[in-house]
Amino acid sequence: MSLNPRKKKQAKVLRTFRKVHRINGATLFIFFFVVSISGLLLGWKKNSNDYLLSKTHKGTSTELKEWLPIDSLYSNAKYYFKEHISKDLSSEIDRIDIRKNDGTAKFIFENYYGIQVDGATGNLLHIERRRSDFIEGIHDGSALDVYFNTSGNPIKLIYTTIMGLALLLFTITGFWLWLGPKRMRRASK
């Protein structure tokens, strides 16, 4: 009993999708593994007992008019960085996270350290190692741009494009590998 031309075509498409699915999975296995583990860790970062991401500590005032100017808070954060973390590491900041409702300014440094200062007094509230920022860099590929000191994040863009297209291709071929045999069985009844 031979297959009719329509079923032969469906079987050929199914074999092609299976091959694409298998090659895609085998080629990008390690990347899918890294993205899944890092994504899982990022999802749990606020529930990691301050290991991946420290809680926000409370300052003395939530009224911005009572706060010190940002440049003064930054000077204090740089001082605390040099005193408590390292005199040799760069104290360049990546960003400032103002938490008005907590009375806190978080200074996040390029080398994955963070310093929380009281917005009103400038006093040190907390020093943290921002493991979640490093994990995020692994998750989206930007850690490689930092490592190779590239500008414009080209590695991140290439990495996220490849991973996004691979996931899309995986989804389409996986769906077809599930649906195709059902359609073939239905057609043979």
- 60-98: pLDDT as tens digits: 999 999 999 999 999 999 999 999 999 999 999 999 999
4 phi/psi in degrees, rounded to 5: -70, 165
15 contacts: CB under 8 Å, gap ≥ 6: none
Count of C-beta atoms within a 10 Å radius of residue 95:
11
Q: Which of 78, 81, 125 is nearest to 99 (CA)?
A: 125
Q: Residue 182's pLDDT is what?
A: 83
Q: Residue 74's pLDDT is what?
A: 97
Per DSSP, helices labelled H in the chain are 5-43, 70-84, 131-140, 142-148, 154-188
Question: In the predicted model, what is the mean pLDDT of residues 138-152?
Answer: 93
The model scores a pTM over 0.85: no
